[in-house]
Structure 1
Amino acid sequence: MMKKAKPPVQKNETLTVTIEDLTHDGAGVAKVDGYALFVPNALPGESVDIKVVKANKGYGFARLLEINVESSARVKPPCPIFDRCGGCQIQHLAQHAQRSYKQKQVKDVLARIANQPDVPVETTIGMDEPWNYRNKAQVPVASQHGKFVAGFYAKRSHTIVDMDTCPIQEEANDHAVQVVKRLAKQYGITPYNEDKHSGCLRHIVTRVGKVTGQVMVVLVTKDKKLPHQAALIREIREHVPEVVSIVHNMNAARTNVIFGEETHILWGESHVYDELLGIRFAISARSFYQVNHAQTERLYRQALAYAELTGTETVIDAYCGIGTLTLCLAKQAKHVYGVEIVPEAITDAKYNAKMNHIENVDFVVGEAEKVMPWWYAQGIRPDVIVVDPPRKGCDEALLQAMVAMKPKRIVYVSCNPGTLARDIKLLSEEGGYKVDVVQPVDMFPQTTHVECVAKLTLM
């Protein structure tokens, strides 16, 4: 019997290595006799001392001990908890290098997964000021060592790193979160205990309209009753003057999902308002809305350019959400059909269309892969299909429905290059679509995430 090959490194061994690359989650990659070691916080080109913490058969993990030769792209992270918090992964990488890294991510997955190494991938569109951009904060709450904490999870754990401010959050979100945190302590509202499924307050969620400045505060609890409700409403209104909506959401399930199904408006409006490309949108507590206003406008302009609309086209927008991109498309198309599985989002989408006096749209609740064949049976023949799916990408049945409808162009907006490449492979091989170009957009500076817009043309 052949002996299993041992890795060329051992746990607890210390080594000096050169970092060659970055993984999709921002860890440095070193090679020892061809064996990959992943080293968080190390950058390409650096010579570093490391300690091996895990040695699997095909790859291992190591801890950075010391940097001997530093990368010219290394910068000092401005966040004091960057090394512990899991919210950002690459604050230590200069902006130009972040954009290059994200462009390379997209190129690599298109070559590896879609088998299309020659697709043109444009230079990543970045931000002039890549800080304080997030218009939504979702902050978990807990008790740790008897202390009330609210912050983001540490890397690869469910331990909360307590925080006062976050440099990628809108300042209005930071302020609102800190007000609620202080009030919860003041009134003795018990934080949720994930292990015991006890306690009351689970999450503090805040939203801010970039253009309007309006703030929504959502208190997510395990229990149906919110203790000291009247006092909380009064004090939030006093200390967060921009607030226009205070909402209570109940989530009694043992789950990592933030929101439950039951939501009540405690005070004020049911929505906050914002504007994208001159169109006004109402955003409710559970609606999906892109978190980076400036980059969303750049992303949508690119999607519109790739759609090549002249005013005569019929367009389908799958995963339409509250109609943000749908209504932008409707300004340039003959008619747009939007489909979305979340009923509340479609209610918001219809309201947004009416509010903006846009009449050449229809919105339907349902699964796109089921609704689109029904539309086809009704005689609807789209010239362009736009998809903007979640991270898991498009359902295969939806891809097959698109192939069957044979639109001239598909505009694919993606928040996950890996699933974009997987879906491009099917659309190319089974649908006869050619990928003309892919444009990365840095929607999430300081993190490893990258958004893309791909233009596909029927051959």
Structure 2
Amino acid sequence: MSQGKREVPVKKNETYNVTFEDLTHDGAAVAKIEGYTLFVPKALPGESGKVKVVKANKGYGFGRLLELTEESSQRVDPPCPIFDRCGGCQVQHLSYEGQLEHKQKHVADNLKRIGKLEDIAVHPTLGMEDPWRYRNKAQVPVGEANGELIAGFYAKRSHEIIDMPNCIIQHESNDLVVQEVKDIAKKYGIRSYDEKKHKGTLRHIVSRHGRTTDELMVVLVTRGKELPNKKNIVQEIRERLPNVKSIIQNINPKRTNVIFGDQTTTLWGEDVIYDYIGDIKFAISPRSFYQVNPTQTKVLYEKALEYARLTGKETVIDAYCGIGTISLFLAQKAKQVLGVEIVPEAIDDAKNNAKLNGIENVDFAVGEAENVIPWWQSQGVQPDVMVVDPPRKGCDESLLQTMIQLKPERIVYVSCNPSTLARDLRILEDGGFRTKQVQPVDMFPQTNHVEAVAELVLDV
């Protein structure tokens, strides 16, 4: 072996006694063996136990927990019977208090490690009073087992469907939709889609629920236009689900993992359902982006509004504005809000939502923020506040440079990924801004995901 190369101190299929130090972003526990990192699902920090190495790469490996010799005081019994097999939740075995602490630590650690931001206040995570039954949308794949129609989530890292009578992070209405539609489809002999053979009819059952309005939308995603007994199926859905306001068929003929196809038809009722976040009303179509936890979305957006420090005199630019959710919140306190988004359908939704609420001090444009914003600047627009809510990959480098060049007094950064948040805050700090504080918000209890809102000011 050449000098300087370390031999891996563990061997595949061997067992080791370890103590767990931390949790990763995807909920696996971290153990160290002679400085070598081992990732082990289902264990928690502070616990000790026996693990079997299932994979040993040069820099890190993966283990399976065989037994615990010391348990964490924050360990709880997961209430979901399929928690071990389903890939939907990762930290049900950690108390809710422990989850909130872990998410705060995860954000703070990323700021220090990636952003080199040492002295920023990262507040305790804002959690839910009841961290269950919060999801307002279910997208459930349909399959067959022993000749029976099944519907559920995919097992971890596989395409095996686990039949699921209910999901305790879904709103009960969504569970009911999945069970009733599955039952009706069985009754009328509807076959599930077989992705290997590219045959069969029903691919996914999608349910959307308005938390405030209690309205339901049912979407049947099919391989082709043909849906046998369509009229009877629609009639039975209406009879069994009195709150249903919209029954939709979406056609996806492609060999793909993407849920929706391009063609959507309303089989019965309205094209949209409605819901509220705070006082703002939103129209929700089958494919429109709408936050899955409206209770915590209100908490998140109120924090963004607080950090924007609006007095009614400001011009605000909302990059990555989506269907206008944050823009419309900000418009209540700003002089003018300009929203930009690359997805044309989202901008259509944003304009409709502004009209729905009679909000006139907003304007929306389609395009890449880094191109649209300089054009606005050429028209005399100088933002006092900029708000960004980018996807997981974070802000585009050119948008960060545009913000640095524009020098707004304040930036509010809403993030769904602490590592890209830390990276982007570092760039903005180097460009003349100062991060005042960061507030984690638990939008997805029982999972590893955490959102955060950061307040930045121009450092003058």
| Shared fold per TM-score greater than 0.5 | yes
Residue 12 of structure 1: aligned partner: 13
Residue 167 of structure 2: aligned partner: 166
Task: Give the distance between the partners of 2:82 and 2:352, measured in 1 at CA.
Answer: 41
Q: Please give the per-residue CA displacement for 1:322-370, whole angstroms capped at 9, x wherever unaligned.
A: 2111111001000111112222222222121112111111112222222
Residue 454 of structure 2: aligned partner: 454
Q: Secondary structure at the residue paired with 2:110?
A: helix
Q: Tell me the CA shift for residue 253 of structure 1.
A: 2.3
| 1:163 maps to amino acid | M
State the superposition RMSD in angstroms: 1.4
- Residue 440 (str. 1) matches residue 440 (str. 2): yes
Q: Please give the per-residue CA displacement for 1:118-159, whole angstroms capped at 9, x wherever unaligned.
A: 221110001110000001111112234544221111112222
Residue 205 of structure 1: aligned partner: 206
Task: Give the distance between the partners of 2:370 and 2:352, measured in 1 at CA.
Answer: 24
The answer for unaligned runs of 5 or more in structure 1 is none
Change (3 A) 1:166 1:120: same
Task: Give the distance between the partners of 1:171 and 1:202, measured in 2 at CA.
Answer: 22
- Mapping of residues 36-435 of structure 1, within 5 Å: 36-144=37-145, 146-429=147-430, 431-435=431-435
Q: Please give the per-residue CA displacement for 1:222-245, whole angstroms capped at 9, x wherever unaligned.
A: 213333221121111111111101
413-422 vs 342-351, which deviates more?
Answer: 342-351
Residue 23 of structure 1: aligned partner: 24
| 1:395 maps to amino acid | D
Residue 2 of structure 2: aligned partner: 2
317-326 vs 94-103, which deviates more?
Answer: 317-326
Change (3 A) 1:406 1:145: farther
Q: Secondary structure at the residue paired with 1:245?
A: strand
Task: Give the distance between the partners of 1:191 and 1:280, measured in 2 at CA.
Answer: 36
Change (3 A) 1:255 1:395: farther
Q: Secondary structure at the residue paired with 2:121?
A: coil
Task: Give the distance between the partners of 2:317 and 2:227, measured in 1 at CA.
Answer: 42
271-280 vs 253-262, which deviates more?
Answer: 253-262
Q: How many residues align?
A: 458
| 1:322 maps to amino acid | I
159-168 vs 226-235, which deviates more?
Answer: 226-235
| 1:24 maps to amino acid | H
Task: Give the distance between the partners of 1:28 and 1:254, measured in 2 at CA.
Answer: 36
Q: Tell me the CA shift for residue 455 of structure 1.
A: 0.8
Task: Give the distance between the partners of 2:249 and 2:388, measured in 1 at CA.
Answer: 32
Change (3 A) 1:418 1:178: same
Task: Give the distance between the partners of 2:197 and 2:15, measured in 1 at CA.
Answer: 40
Task: Give the distance between the partners of 1:302 and 1:134, measured in 2 at CA.
Answer: 21
Task: Give the distance between the partners of 1:377 and 1:284, measured in 2 at CA.
Answer: 35
What TM-score, normalized by structure 2, do the two folds share?
0.97
Q: Tell me the CA shift for residue 80 of structure 1.
A: 0.3
Q: Secondary structure at the residue paired with 1:148?
A: strand
| 1:47 maps to amino acid | S
| 2:349 maps to amino acid | D
Q: Tell me the CA shift for residue 421 of structure 1.
A: 1.3
Q: Secondary structure at the residue paired with 2:374?
A: helix
Q: Tell me the CA shift for residue 68 of structure 1.
A: 1.4
Q: Tell me the CA shift for residue 396 of structure 1.
A: 1.7
The answer for unaligned runs of 5 or more in structure 2 is none
Task: Give the distance between the partners of 1:112 and 1:455, measured in 2 at CA.
Answer: 19
What TM-score, normalized by structure 1, do the two folds share?
0.97
Task: Give the distance between the partners of 2:374 and 2:303, measured in 1 at CA.
Answer: 28
Change (3 A) 1:204 1:440: same
| 2:334 maps to amino acid | A
Task: Give the distance between the partners of 1:240 and 1:95, measured in 2 at CA.
Answer: 33
Q: Secondary structure at the residue paired with 2:295?
A: helix
Q: Tell me the CA shift for residue 17 of structure 1.
A: 1.2
Change (3 A) 1:402 1:144: farther
Change (3 A) 1:207 1:117: same
Change (3 A) 1:191 1:409: same
Q: Secondary structure at the residue paired with 1:374?
A: helix
Q: Tell me the CA shift for residue 305 of structure 1.
A: 0.3
Q: Secondary structure at the residue paired with 2:291?
A: coil
Q: Tell me the CA shift for residue 209 of structure 1.
A: 0.6
Q: Secondary structure at the residue paired with 2:402?
A: helix
51-60 vs 328-337, which deviates more?
Answer: 51-60
Q: Secondary structure at the residue paired with 1:286?
A: coil
Task: Give the distance between the partners of 1:397 and 1:329, measured in 2 at CA.
Answer: 24
Q: Please give the per-residue CA displacement for 1:219-269, whole angstroms capped at 9, x wherever unaligned.
A: 112213333221121111111111101111122222222212221111111
* Moved beyond 4 Å, runs of 4+: none
